[in-house]
Structure 1
């Protein structure tokens, strides 16, 4: 994502030259340009084709560089300084690379070491080289050896590489050997595809530095006038609320709508809800056309009870799915079912054959689930296994996600005092397998008392986190983020959806989630070879 200081015309320029470039790749190109120090269009004069080869194909990179050169020579464009003069800029104190390479050095090589860094392939063991050449995933031991060699080379050029430096070098590795190193599950790239490498590289660097860093360091005094304290709470919350969203706030009402038409459609939906019979397609269209008013109500902090009265379909599968698609750009149920079809069996196989043999907790959960499931078959039963095993794997609190009540209980019979504030699925039965009905609670209140399918309950539960600006609870942070990234295909590179504490450092991707993703990819390689 571009920083606030970066020229917004850069994105339009790239889109104009490469109109068919997918949005996800466009964002990675922007991030790469930012890391190179490109803040304005004029900075393009210093970009070389080689700088873009980690994220673009050679012809695309040539088009982008050639187009800038052609535009810079056109009428009305200022003459640009010779590219050869960039050496003085790169070695100057104001060089943009300084944010990546803090190592002071009088020569250009060390001042710009990340750009000049070459992957030390010649030092790799022969077995690793063969894997990379053949496009196969290296075994965990070979991957760890690669990390040790690359990190050692990084620290030879700069004793204290930053996280940004590790990120750039991870991009180079993945760009050079995408089939072998990219974060992939069942053919789908997870996030930008290089987060697990960044994690491993930085961990290795930190471990090596630990031996040379003084154990006792003087603490810097914390000023009462810290910049963090000046940020209003509502602004901090909005950063988390907008996480993973493409249309969180609409500044303008659709041109075809007026406030009167929005109010009329809202009243029509309320009447349809009270009647109890409605056409799903009609409701979907009404929800989509009033999305502007719904976002204004939600982002304005409207109370939950008021939202339920004014927008009752926001708590029904039809309304949640329509709103979620507008908000995130992803179809809710379709994305989940497609991901389960591609990745669900592999995840269950990994839990049963690897995790159950390593962790007693997972083994006991697996044994209990086999007894509860019995002879039941089908996608819904697999999803129940998947959710409950993920909770066990991450050792997270099942009671925050599922609350069990009697099969015949109605909404008024549920003990709401025991319910968490975050979205919770109420299981009407002794187990998820025997239950024929589910409910959803938010903020300790039942907001949907009749969900007949378990998969629908999961989708409605997950969708409400995004549609209603609710943060993931700390007790479920790993399970929900794994679902988000691997099964709902929401992969922001920055930020978090987890509840945060003041001054608590947050990583862009949960390390435990990254570990499971990497282990799954290794397991897939072993199963297919």
Structure 2
């Protein structure tokens, strides 16, 4: 993959092929190790190490920011925090996932169509309909967990309504890998999540310094 990097970038950037065509030609690019390697070739930044370390650093402060704004935003952010407060196991991991899930809401964007959850008894092809770019979490269909925390069966990355990577270890890792694929495949950020992805790029991964006013305000709040 290192030896074919120049050829691959020329094809992907110049021809902008469908993701299915890239998978047929460069299947290895859709494995976790190679997503990270390709991101490093493009940016010289270690993807998951940098992203997860930054998330560790900022997640507690992000939750505090969400609490300070939850009364001023829609109930979705408050519901997210209420669920987090009920968690009694794996709290640190759940805090990081909550920080990421709440980021679009805090930045006054909507993640509908980007973050989806379905039962393991649901047809996957139906669940991914309309998902041009996103993360699908498949949970156990168990009536005993309806009023508690459902068991996650798998986490998958979706591009152009198809699964491009499955069985990812955690939601934060999935978010990092999806961001890496955006760079590897030369994709645009979703228009309805432009500030969220700008924050990931410039705050979490330190790629670029000039921020929009909305992301700069977030950055300033995290540094207090």
Q: TM-score range by the shorter chain?
A: 0.7 to 0.9
User: In structure 2, how many angstroms separate the alpha carbons of the residues matched to 1:436 and 1:458?
Assistant: 17
Larger strand fraction of residues: 2
Contact 1:416 1:445 in 2 (8 A): no
Q: Alpha-carbon deviation of 1:475?
A: 1.0
Contact 1:425 1:457 in 2 (8 A): yes
* SS class of match (1:365): helix
Q: What does residue 306 of structure 1 align with?
A: 21
Q: What does residue 260 of structure 1 align with?
A: none
User: In structure 1, how many angstroms separate the alpha carbons of the residues matched to 2:127 and 2:6?
Assistant: 32
User: In structure 1, how many angstroms separate the alpha carbons of the residues matched to 2:172 and 2:101?
Assistant: 13
Q: Alpha-carbon deviation of 1:378?
A: 4.8
Structure 2 CA distance for partners of 1:475 and 1:311, relative to 1, 3 Å: same
User: In structure 2, how many angstroms separate the alpha carbons of the residues matched to 1:381 and 1:439?
Assistant: 18
Q: Alpha-carbon deviation of 1:437?
A: 1.0
Contact 1:351 1:389 in 2 (8 A): yes
Q: What does residue 102 of structure 2 align with?
A: 389
Q: Which has the larger radius of gyration?
A: 1
Unpaired runs of at least 5, structure 2: 141-147
Q: Note if 1:429 corresponds to 2:139.
A: yes
Q: Note if 1:407 corresponds to 2:109.
A: no
User: In structure 2, how many angstroms separate the alpha carbons of the residues matched to 1:432 and 1:443?
Assistant: 29
For residues 494-515 of structure 1, give each alpha carbon's deviation from its aligned partner in whole angstroms, at most 9, with x where no partner exists.
Answer: xxxxxxxxxxxxxxx3221122
User: In structure 2, how many angstroms separate the alpha carbons of the residues matched to 1:441 and 1:309?
Assistant: 16
* SS class of match (2:188): coil
Higher RCO (CA 8 Å, separation ≥ 6 residues): 2
Contact 1:424 1:442 in 2 (8 A): yes
Q: Note if 1:288 corresponds to 2:2.
A: yes
TM-score by length of 2: 0.84
Structure 2 CA distance for partners of 1:436 and 1:455, relative to 1, 3 Å: farther
Q: Note if 1:489 corresponds to 2:199.
A: no
Matches within 5 A, 1:49-128: none
User: In structure 1, how many angstroms separate the alpha carbons of the residues matched to 2:103 and 2:149?
Assistant: 15
TM-score by length of 1: 0.38
Q: Alpha-carbon deviation of 1:453?
A: 2.4
User: In structure 1, how many angstroms separate the alpha carbons of the residues matched to 2:201 and 2:113?
Assistant: 17
Q: What does residue 510 of structure 1 align with?
A: 212
User: In structure 2, how many angstroms separate the alpha carbons of the residues matched to 1:348 and 1:514?
Assistant: 18
Contact 2:48 2:177 in 1 (8 A): no
User: In structure 2, how many angstroms separate the alpha carbons of the residues matched to 1:432 and 1:323?
Assistant: 35
User: In structure 2, how many angstroms separate the alpha carbons of the residues matched to 1:451 and 1:312?
Assistant: 17
Contact 1:440 1:446 in 2 (8 A): yes
Contact 2:84 2:94 in 1 (8 A): no
User: In structure 2, how many angstroms separate the alpha carbons of the residues matched to 1:432 and 1:309?
Assistant: 38
* SS class of match (2:137): strand
Matches within 5 A, 1:333-412: 333-352=48-67, 354-359=68-73, 361=75, 362-371=77-86, 374-408=87-121
Provide the aligned C-alpha RMSD in A.
2.5
Q: What does residue 466 of structure 1 align with?
A: 183
Matches within 5 A, 1:5-16: none
Q: Alpha-carbon deviation of 1:339?
A: 0.8
User: In structure 1, how many angstroms separate the alpha carbons of the residues matched to 2:49 and 2:150?
Assistant: 22
Unpaired runs of at least 5, structure 1: 1-286, 494-508, 525-529
* SS class of match (2:120): coil
Structure 2 CA distance for partners of 1:436 and 1:318, relative to 1, 3 Å: same
Q: Alpha-carbon deviation of 1:492?
A: 4.6
